[in-house]
Amino acid sequence: MAKGKREYVWLECKECSNRNYRTSVNVSEGTPKIELKKFCSKERKHTVHKIRRK
């Protein structure tokens, strides 16, 4: 087992709030402040995505 608490989260588009990706992150120290440039399937372009926990 990996160290720390891992949780599945959404990667949500900052522009249209579409939840495009699922990933697992280490949340033992709170929600990571990660922003990733990802392809948004709704807008059909690359936008910044942020982590959204349930």
- What are the residues binding Zn ion (CB under 5 A)? 13, 15-16, 18, 40, 42-43, 47
| Closest to Zn ion by CB, 7 or 47 | 47
| Closest to Zn ion by CB, 6 or 45 | 45
Length, in residues, of the chain: 54
| Closest to Zn ion by CB, 26 or 41 | 41
Smallest distance, Å, CB 18 to Zn ion?
A: 5
Distance between terminal CA atoms of the chain?
23
User: Which residues does 33 contact at the CB level (< 8 Å), separation at least 6?
Assistant: 51
